[in-house]
Structure 1
Amino acid sequence: MKSLLIFPPDWLPSEPYLSLPSLASVLRPAGHEVSQIDVNVEMYDLFFSPRFLEHVSQRIANELQFLQEVEQKRALNEEEQELMQRLLTCTPELFQQFSADVERAKGILRGKAFYDIDQLEWATNCLHQVMALISLGYYPAQICFPPIETDIVYKPFMSSEILESLDDDQINIYRDVYSMLIRPVMERERPMMVGISVVQQKQLIATFTFCKMIKEEFPGTHITLGGNIITRIRDTLPEMKGLWEWFDTAVVYEGESAYLKLTEAVKNGSKDLSQLPNLIYKDDEGIHTNKEVCSEALAELPPPDFDGLPLEKYFVPNLILPYLATRGCYWGRCTFCDHFQGYVEGFRTKQVDQIIGEIKHLKEKYGTRFFHFTDESYPPALFQKLSRRLIDDKLDIAWTTHMRFEESLLEEQVWKDVAESGCKYLHFGYESGNQRVLKLMDKATKLDAIETNLRMSSEAGIWNHPMGFFGFPG
């Protein structure tokens, strides 16, 4: 059976997200034909192209013509006057220049020129300017690169506003993204099933835009939603009746085994989905949440399968592959954290031999030595063991991961080994520099350990990125 896996915008276009490759790695060995499309990175590659700028040029011309027609009937208000002045600056010469510049800018971000600060600054400024131009074509939307500040006016945390956004041709840029990127794949592949992985709230409007347009054009397609955000809203999702018009099922918690079983059921034409794990589904009688849940045995899962993703299109000079050796958080006590909601089972880890074997496999298969270990928080014992094995096995990789500050990591040799193993950059959960607040957070972190971990890792040549926040209660 043909299945299409979609990762929607908006997300950082620097590396693949693991959800689709993790599903592909279990679906393909089971005999299912799988296509996976990272619409997020494909979208940004499209935005920065002469083709899309020509499309935006026409939209801006139409907006300008509309305002000019309004002006003949009445005086423009202040906002309309300001918009008209901005639209008038969008000359054919400007579009022609940007059409040439965006290709060069993409080349800089994806090549060795990335490391030339002057060229990198020019390229990023160019792409920011192009995004401002694109935003004018979808006014009043603000579409950004990277996407953290993107705002298309509608609130993605309100189902009523999501529904309202779906048919808005002026603001909802994802309608055009669907037409240019997803519709051609649907027409070519004709998948029986589409799975969409939603990992952050801002992806919801794009997700349901795609769902609605797929259902309208390919009504027989079974659409399944999954991912961290779907799991987080699992209790309220059955109540969002309007959204259920545009999809069929939702997989919550971990998805590999659950999605595979659902795929088999859809393939076999099963009408009874009530016994499938981790599933919310609709039928003629309503929307149902199954009681059975399952979690994954990590040792039994294959390494991620990135085949079919546009690995050359990520906006980095060298391909970075994500890899996950653990699930859950070994600490799991921080009072501000809700990461545990994504799992029905506690912390689990693969063994070092398996981790080393899979990293070696991915390095050889995809021709890259750059890895992002996307674990929630790397356990200190595994951190040390893996570093030694990477050295002993001479894997010659460059890697980064996410860490807690730990009193068990206070020996200089530990950090020397970590650096020698290829670690270049660490994200640390700093959270607060106040010991009283750290205690309220149940971090069990001492300020002197924070200082020592940072100093030793820095002296070993590792870049550090501490992450904290303000306003913790208490």
Structure 2
Amino acid sequence: MRVSLIFPPATDPRAPHLALPYLAAVLRRAGVATTLIDADLGGLLWLLRPEVVAHHLRRVAKAPPGRDADEIARLLRRGDRLVEDVPRALAILRDRVRFYDPHAFAFARETIQDAVQLAAGGTAVRYDLCPIRYEVAGIDEQRLPDLIAASTDPRANLFEEHWRAELLPALDRERPDLVGLSIVNRQQILPGLALAHRLKAGGHRVVIGGTVFTKFVRQLLARPELFAHFADGIVAYEGETAILALVEALRRGGDLGSVPNLLSVVDGRVRMGPTRVEDVDELPTPDFAGLPLGAYLAPEPVLPILVGKGCYFNECKFCDIPFINHVSRKPYRVRSTQRIVEDILTLNDRTGCRHFVFTDEALPPRLLERLADALEPHRDRGFSFVGYARFERGFTGEVCAKIARMGMRKIFFGLESGDQATLDHMRKGIRIADVRPVLSHCREAGILFHIFSMVGFPEETRASARTTLRFFEENADVIDHPGNTFDIHPFGLELRTGYFAEAAELGVDVPEEALAKDFVIGVRSGWSNARGLSQDEVMALVAEYGAVLRTLYARHHNTPLHLWPGFEEYAILYGDRYRNRDFPYRTSLPEDGDPRPFTIAWNPAAAVDRRDGLVRVASRTGAVTVDEPLFGLFAAPRPRRVGDVLAACAALQGEEADPAETRAAIDAMVGARLLQITLARDGPARSAPEERVSEPAIA
């Protein structure tokens, strides 16, 4: 028997996902030849080939203006420079030196996102890496007829050429006995099912798994037509035992009805095998062999590690993790400390990887403390970790110091709200009084942190929502560090949660048409919050808070994305690199009188258009029009001081120039990623090594 396991587009391939390596480990331990294919990474790298970028550039240039005309015009102004910049961008993200220059890093990420946006230009597809998105105009991935229509329309598939030229021919040559696809997030639904359809139509036996379909067992049981179009079977819940049992059943030619967690069609009706809950301590170390670890968008591998499944608290009313894990009697199943350490050491021996992401929803402090003790004899290997946790009193100064020695570089905490009554309403189970001490213990130990928060909970008032803003204002002395990150985003209503179950009692109204779909994942918009903030009020507050906090945290957070990357894989790499080093990059001008020299120059990923003595500079997040002298002032990075910069701008503007307004204008351009600032170290620093500002011909 031969099995091929595929991770489909469309995510952000900074590192491999954990699901397929676990399945591969189970199969390979049983002697089943297993191939791993990251079609997400492969599809993106195909779109980033210079000849493919050039093709899309020519195609979009000939097309009539349409959706996002201003953005398309910006991409066209980059022109052939974008074709040249893409290989350099990939090289920067894989370079163990340039990756850690955040301006070079930003140039690389922006360039790749521009190339992706160009590939979707003039099509019905919206594809982006940040935030991750794959949508098709006119298609609702929650409706089965739309899924079928999109899967048969090449115009809805940006990866069609890659599949036709490389992926499908390779699978046809190998002819595995089983092809498995793992669909773990909403963005993978359309391309993932399109690939499943192509494979099934090509004669392959296809099985689909992943957390997305775990939410829809009841709906799947009533829709045999989905199986006819996309798959021979769908594995709900957990798949390790299921896929091995499926291989054995296929080998014997036996009945698939005995395969645990497998939904399949028998005599025209969907049947499901017995439910199986894995003993996580019996799972082997995940096996990443066959995945191109050096090809991901990072300078060295960062691998995911499973500590446990589920959540040990398991009561938050906004979260659907309790539903996803409801088949288990235990809300949190944990691998033994010995097993976790074996996984880490084994993967380090096999791959050389030193950086690991704990994938758990929340890591208990006592578990981390035990793990730190167990890893103490192996500190010479230089491990580093990042993971998620709750604001528990157990994160004492002593515990934080211990897990920092283990290599804990950053913890992602869910604050959700700065108001205790709102936290109690959602059954968060934390105390605001404990939050600052935990953050302080982390900071003293050298552990960075991210703070998640939301606005717009059911029955939340404007006053309680503003308490969240005050939390960030009152704790800026602890939070303000280049490696600490935070966000405030609108609350989203998920269906399989306590809040949805109590919707009528809370004054939450969801229109019937929003629920009259085959596979409702969540309610994006249109629902009303009669006893809370309206969606317009929520969006206004989020925008207001963002402006306030970008000013308060201007030194390092005056940009839509932080200079110190917030994604887990990148945060851990930066955290390791700058643990004992200065971080000389800023998102605003130094304070008046600061004697340190710095460089300030235009973002090399910006598009530049000269016309009638004026220069328009546009990035993905903003644009400005200046005259030629001011553009020339920042055309080349060289050491300057803040007073010299303000004086030079004043000289260009005339006597009426206001220094405060000039500073604010420059900071706004830095915040829009038009200008980049680096404090000088041993010598003049360049804003982006080996890069220069794009200057296409006048349009």
> Please, what TM-score do these two structures have when normalized by structure 2?
0.62
Residues of 1 paired with 2:317 and 2:75: CA distance? 51
* Cross-structure match for 2:272: 289
1:399 paired to 2:367 = no
The amino acid that maps onto 2:316 is C
Give the drift of 1:146: 3.6
Q: Is the 8 A contact 2:223 2:270 kept in 1?
A: no
* Cross-structure match for 1:214: 199
The amino acid that maps onto 2:243 is Y
Query: 5+ residue gaps in structure 2?
Result: 460-699
Residues of 2 paired with 1:363 and 1:110: CA distance? 19
2:83 to 71, 84, 99: 99
In structure 2, relative to structure 1, the CA distance for the partners of 1:281 and 1:104 (3 Å cut) is same
Give the drift of 1:314: 1.1
1:359 to 326, 330, 344: 344
* Cross-structure match for 1:73: none
Helix, strand or coil for the counterpart of 2:260?
A: coil
* Cross-structure match for 2:241: 257
1:240 paired to 2:226 = no
Q: Give the greater-gyration-radius structure (CA).
A: 2
The amino acid that maps onto 1:37 is I
Give the drift of 1:84: 12
In structure 2, relative to structure 1, the CA distance for the partners of 1:187 and 1:59 (3 Å cut) is farther
1:325 to 272, 283, 307: 307
1:8 paired to 2:33 = no
The amino acid that maps onto 1:370 is H
Helix, strand or coil for the counterpart of 2:217?
A: coil
Stretches of 4+ aligned residues off by more than 3 angstroms? 57-61, 82-91
Helix, strand or coil for the counterpart of 2:385?
A: strand
Residues of 2 paired with 1:391 and 1:181: CA distance? 46
Helix, strand or coil for the counterpart of 2:258?
A: coil
* Cross-structure match for 1:47: 47
Give the drift of 1:129: 2.1
Give the drift of 1:98: 2.9
Residues of 2 paired with 1:313 and 1:238: CA distance? 39
Q: Is the 8 A contact 1:175 1:210 kept in 2?
A: no
Residues of 1 paired with 2:94 and 2:333: CA distance? 35
Give the drift of 1:286: 2.2
In structure 2, relative to structure 1, the CA distance for the partners of 1:196 and 1:330 (3 Å cut) is same
Give the drift of 1:168: 2.2
Residues of 2 paired with 1:146 and 1:40: CA distance? 15
* Cross-structure match for 1:449: 434
Identical aligned residues as a percent? 31
Query: 5+ residue gaps in structure 1?
Result: 68-77
The amino acid that maps onto 1:39 is A
1:142 to 114, 126, 137: 126
Residues of 1 paired with 2:71 and 2:132: CA distance? 27
* Cross-structure match for 2:551: none
* Cross-structure match for 1:70: none
1:389 paired to 2:374 = yes
Helix, strand or coil for the counterpart of 1:393?
A: helix
Q: Is the 8 A contact 2:316 2:428 kept in 1?
A: yes
Residues of 1 paired with 2:444 and 2:108: CA distance? 32
2:413 to 401, 404, 428: 428
* Cross-structure match for 2:588: none
* Cross-structure match for 2:93: 109
The amino acid that maps onto 2:29 is P
Residues of 2 paired with 1:451 and 1:89: CA distance? 44
* Cross-structure match for 1:316: 298
Helix, strand or coil for the counterpart of 1:456?
A: helix
Give the drift of 1:48: 1.2
Helix, strand or coil for the counterpart of 2:257?
A: coil
In structure 2, relative to structure 1, the CA distance for the partners of 1:285 and 1:386 (3 Å cut) is same
* Cross-structure match for 1:266: 250
* Cross-structure match for 1:340: 322
Q: Is the 8 A contact 1:231 1:341 kept in 2?
A: no
Residues of 2 paired with 1:267 and 1:325: CA distance? 33
In structure 2, relative to structure 1, the CA distance for the partners of 1:444 and 1:47 (3 Å cut) is same
| Greater RCO (CA < 8 Å, at least 6 residues apart) | 1
Q: Is the 8 A contact 1:378 1:404 kept in 2?
A: yes
> Please, what TM-score do these two structures have when normalized by structure 1?
0.90
Corresponding residue pairs, total:
452
Q: Is the 8 A contact 2:120 2:127 kept in 1?
A: yes
The amino acid that maps onto 1:94 is G
* Cross-structure match for 2:170: 185
Residues of 2 paired with 1:285 and 1:126: CA distance? 49
